[in-house]
Amino acid sequence: MEKNGSLKGLAQSLQSMTDVETLKKEAGIAACKYVRSGMKVGLGTGSTVKHTVIELGRMIAEDDLEIVGVPTSLATEKLALEVGIPLVELSDVDGLDIVIDGADEYDPHFQLIKGGGAALLREKIVAQESKAMIVVADDRKRVDALGAFPLPIEITPFAHQATIRSLGRLLNCRVNCRMSGDNAVMTDNGNMIADAHCGPTISAPEAMEKNILNIAGVVQVGLFNNMCDVVVLAGTNGVETFVNPNGRIQ
C-alpha cells in the first residue's frame, strides 16, 4: 500500500511538472502577439522565454515575420541562431522596440527580481534600451512583496568577499557567493553572483537598488524597477495577461 501511494505521488508530481511546463510554453508563445514585422526585439533568458524565442523563429520561417533580435545571454544567442532569428549588436542599433524576458518574482507594482539565470547585467542593459518590456512567467513568480527569491547581485571577482560582507551589513541578511559545485558561478561578463537572502521584505525596491549600487564592488543588482509593462502569466487559470496601468503599453 505504501509503495502504491509513493508511485501515485510520483505520478502526480510528474503530471504537475508537465502541466507547468505546458503553461509556460503557452505563455511564452502568447507574448509573441506583441511583436510586429520591422521590430528590433530584445530576447530574454530563462525557461519560459525560451518558448518565445522558438516561436519567433517559427514565425520568421512560416509567417514571414521580419525582425532582428538582441540576445541577453550566450545561451539565448545560441538558441536564437538555431531557430533562425537574425541577430544584431545592441551598440549597432538605436534602441529596441520591445524586450520579452522572464522574471524570478514580480510584485503588485510590476517591480521585478531577475538574475536567477545569472544574466541580470545584460538583461538590464537590454531592458533599459527597450521602449517596452513584456515579462513571461508562471504564477509561482507572483508575490505580494519581493525577496523570497534570493536577490541576485552581480559583483566583481576582485575582493568579492569584502563586497559580500558590505552587502550583508547593508541589507542585514545572509549574503553568499553563488556556487556550482566547488566553483563560483561566473556570468557571461566574467563576474560573480552574490545572492542576498532578504526574505519577502522588500517594500522599497527603488531605494534598495540605489543603496546596493553605491557599493563599489557591485556591478549590477537584480531589481528591475519601473521597467515592466505587461506580464503574461501561466497559472491554474491558464494564460492571463496583466497590463501595468502606469506602463507604456495600454
pLDDT at 3: 58
Residues 173-200: what's their mean pLDDT? 97
2-142+226-243 and 151-221: identical CATH topology: no
Task: Provide the pLDDT confidence category of residue 205 given band limits of 50, 70 and 90.
Answer: very high
- Residue 13, pLDDT above cutoff 80: no
- Residue 10, pLDDT above cutoff 90: no
**Domain locations along the chain:** 2-142+226-243, 151-221
pLDDT at 238: 87
pLDDT at 14: 41
Task: Give this prediction's pTM.
Answer: 0.91
pLDDT at 47: 87
Task: Convert the pLDDT of each residue in 131-141 to its tens digit.
Answer: 999 999 989 99
CATH class of 2-142+226-243: alpha beta
What's the grid cell of residue 128?
Answer: 533599459
- Residue 17, pLDDT above cutoff 70: no
In the chain, the percentage of residues whose pLDDT exceeds 90 is 86
Residues 172-189: what's their mean pLDDT? 97
> What's the Cα-to-Cα distance from 127 to each of 51, 168, 225, rounded to whole Å?
19, 27, 11
In the chain, the percentage of residues whose pLDDT exceeds 70 is 93
Tell which wins on pLDDT, 152 or 6. Answer: 152
pLDDT at 11: 47
CATH topology of domain 151-221: Alpha-Beta Plaits (3.30.70)
Task: Convert the pLDDT of each residue in 18-77 to its tens digit.
Answer: 677 888 899 999 999 999 999 999 999 988 899 999 999 999 999 999 999 999 999 999
Residue positions annotated with a catalytic role: 123
pLDDT at 18: 61
pLDDT at 5: 60
